[in-house]
Structures are given as C-alpha cells and as structure tokens.
Amino acid sequence: MKELIAKAETLIEALPYIRKFYGKTFVIKYGGAAQKEVHLKEAFAQDVVLLNYIGINPVVVHGGGPKISETMKKMGKSPTFIQGQRVTDEETIDIVEMVLGGLVNKEIVSLINHFGGRAIGLTGKDGTLIKAKKKVIKKPSPETGTDEIIDIGLVGDVEEINPDVIESLDRSGFIPVVAPVGVSEEGFTLNINADYVAASVSSSVKAEKLILLTDVPGVLDKRGNLISTLTAKEARSLIRKGIIEGGMIPKVEACLQALKEGVKKAHIIDGRVSHCLLLEIFTQEGIGTEIVQ
C-alpha cells in the first residue's frame, strides 16, 4: 500500500506543472546517448507521448552526427571537421539528408507512434520550414594576421523559421519531428547545427521551454558540481571566464539566443537518465540546469 500511495504522491506533485503548462509548446533537442541506447530511445518516446496526452505540444528537433559519420565511412568517405563543423561537399550533403531526413528521423517518428503518439517527420525543406544561409567561418591567417574565410561547404545558419508548418501540426494533435536540414535562397540544401535549429524553432513558435538533451548532467561549476539555475547574465559570465567551455558553449549560446527572442525558460539536461524529460519538467528539484532571462 505504501508503494501505491507513493505513486499517487508523485502524480500529485506533477499536478501544478501539468496545469501550468497545459496548451504550451516545448521544443526538445534530442541527441547524444539518448539517441543511441535502446532503453533511452524508448523512454524518450514515452515521455514525448505523455507530454502530448496531457495537453503539452512537444516539438522534437534531432541531431544525428555519429550516424552521419558512420554512414560516410561505410561509403568510403572520411569525415572532416573544422572548428567543430562538418566539412560538407555535395556528396556529403546527400548522405546528411539521407541519414537525418530518412534513417534517424523515421526511427524517431516510428518510436513515438509505437507508444501511442502521432508523430510526423519533417526536414527544413518541407513547407520551407527552415530558410538558411551558408555559414561563414573565419580564421586568423598566420602570414598576415587578418581573418581569412574558410569554405566548409554546404553548412548553414538559420535565417528564418516558418512557424505555420509546426503550428498547424500542433493544432491537429500531431507531434512534429524536425531534421536540421535547411534550404538556401538559391535552393541549396544546407546542414545546420541542431542546437541552433531548436533555439530558432522555439522562438518562432513562442515556446514555453527549450530543452536540450546532452551527455553530461548539465552546466557544471569550476569544481564540477551541477549548477541547477543560471540567469542569462551569469551564463555569459561563465563563458567569459572559461568555466563553460568546449561543446557546452554552443548549447548555452543556443539557450541564450532562445531566451533573448522570447522563450520563457531553457533547460540543459542529461539524456543518459531514463525519463529525463519528466524528471526535469514535473519535479520540484529537476535534474539539469535551467537558464532564465
């Protein structure tokens, strides 16, 4: 009986959050270990379906870098990165689109539907969802000391999101699952960082939350302890001091971009924890780092 009462108390703890977020939109960036291990894939899909059934509108934006690299190697191509960006020629962009828009996207859609949801897969090319421009990378020249532009191929930055596509699916009770592939004004397909796509989508649909799944507990202080709450100002200070570093910088910057453009709250959470979405959203303590304006 005690176990049953404990379950009831857990549901009651979630009640104020369910009431608060009913009818709101959450944009979730899905990647890392949560996208690789079977039990984590299933737990993620279950979380998304539950959010949808209790009146929250989840929008999933996914990555798939490791799968792209794996497929490239099978096809005899060696992945190359400059400043953390995949060098993407015409042959590589075909692989990117095939893996992200096909293999990865459809696996996520299938899992969500398997657990009772109604997911629909999209790339940025569908309904001109993601308009993009070619990304420019600059690097100081050792000879002249001035910045020189490095061409990394068909890699893009988000220029504009068309929210009508996502909002029409939300109104019909569908769960959009978005692959981070955009299209340029000239009609070129561009590979885009999924964190920044998620941030841009969240601001365009006026989301309540942006949630990024990672392979670490969240933002850590200089002693390696989890920081549960950060203001935007504090986050910028930690970047300047080098406490937020490496791969965490673009994730925090994506959160700051979303907050600046009107998203209420951003979260960076550990996707290696089963049912991490429910634990972050519906408990007092949460499990990751929340960043507020």
Contact 217, 288 (CB under 8 A): yes
If one counts the domains in the chain, the total is 1
Does 85 reside within a domain? Answer: yes
Query: What is the per-residue pLDDT across 67-83, written as a single tens digit (0 to 9) for each?
Result: 999 999 999 998 888 87
Look at residue 144 in the predicted model and tell me its pLDDT.
Answer: 67
Rounded to 5 degrees, what are φ and ψ at 42? -70, -40
Query: What is the per-residue pLDDT across 153-203, written as a single tens digit (0 to 9) for each?
Result: 899 999 999 999 999 999 999 999 999 999 999 999 999 999 999 999 999
Residue range(s) defining the domain that contains residue 71: 24-292
Q: Residue 124 is part of a domain; what is its CATH number?
A: 3.40.1160.10
Contact 101, 83 (CB under 8 A): no
* Nearest-angstrom CA–CA distance, 137 and 150: 5
Query: What is the per-residue pLDDT across 86-98, written as a single tens digit (0 to 9) for each?
Result: 889 899 999 999 9
* Nearest-angstrom CA–CA distance, 176 and 178: 6
* Nearest-angstrom CA–CA distance, 55 and 38: 27
Does 2 reside within a domain? Answer: no
**Whole-number average pLDDT of the chain:** 91
Q: Are strands 137-140 and 147-150 parallel, antiparallel or unpaired?
A: antiparallel
* Nearest-angstrom CA–CA distance, 2 and 230: 37
Look at residue 92 in the predicted model and tell me its pLDDT.
Answer: 92
Average pLDDT over residues 248-260: 93
pLDDT at position 55 over 70: yes
Q: Collapse the DSSP code of 198 into the 3-class scheme (helix H, G, I; strand E, B; otherwise coil) and give the result.
A: helix
Among candidate residues 270, 292, 290, 289, the one with its CA nearest the CA of residue 219 = 289
